[in-house]
Amino acid sequence: RQVALADLVIINKTDLVSGEELNKVRTSVRSINGLVKILETQRSRVDLSNVLDLHAFDSLSGISLQKKLEHVKTTHAHLDKGIITVTFEVPGNIKEEKLNLFIQNLLWEKNVKDKTGCTMDIIRLKGLVSIQGKSHQVIVQGVHELYDLEETAVAWKEDEKRTNRLVLIGRNLDKDTIKEVFVATVGEKQGNS
């Protein structure tokens, strides 16, 4: 659970394991939290600037988050078999009210179920979305039942294809179902403005 919610994971004593074992640890961490920054060290030596003042929830980090989200893949957990990361992308602009409805159904109402009927339990949600009527990218962040939308300093370019990219970490997640519910809730794409 701590790995799933972390913005930073420190892997210590890397000098005491083989490269193959270290890769297994990295893979396990990434399978639980595909967005986490990983620092590797020996003897707990960590530059404090890497730990303090992370700006993990800074609205100016829109470009950085966009690059991270592009590389996150849907994974299956290695440690806790129930926790997985799901990512998907849907083109177009969406209405803020509809996005709020989607997130509230997922986090608060917990009425989104996987194909076997189990309720999807979201531990963490992160993403970049294109809100209709806003010229800047919007960061979506959520932890359990709390979430926030914040406009970034990064403006959509005139010729840029607007898209909505979300990453969810949790239990009983079904990528296809979540994407279908997202599309059904936010409606049809609205073009690029």
- At residue 193 the predicted structure's pLDDT band, cuts being 50, 70 and 90, is very low
Looking at domain 59-186, its CATH superfamily turns out to be CobW-like, C-terminal domain (3.30.1220.10)
Q: Cβ atoms within 10 A of the Cβ of 48, count?
A: 7
Residue corresponding to tokens 């709020």: 100
d(CA 15, CA 148): 40
d(CA 165, CA 159): 18
Q: Please report, for the chain, the start and end positions of each structural domain, with discontinuous segments joined by +.
A: 2-50, 59-186
Share of the chain above pLDDT 70, in %: 79
Mean pLDDT in the chain? Answer: 81
At position 120, the amino acid (one-letter code) is M
The reply to whether the predicted model has a pTM over 0.75 is: no
d(CA 42, CA 13): 4
**pLDDT higher for 191 or 46?**
46
Residue corresponding to tokens 């998907």: 88
Report the pLDDT averaged over residues 91-116. Answer: 93
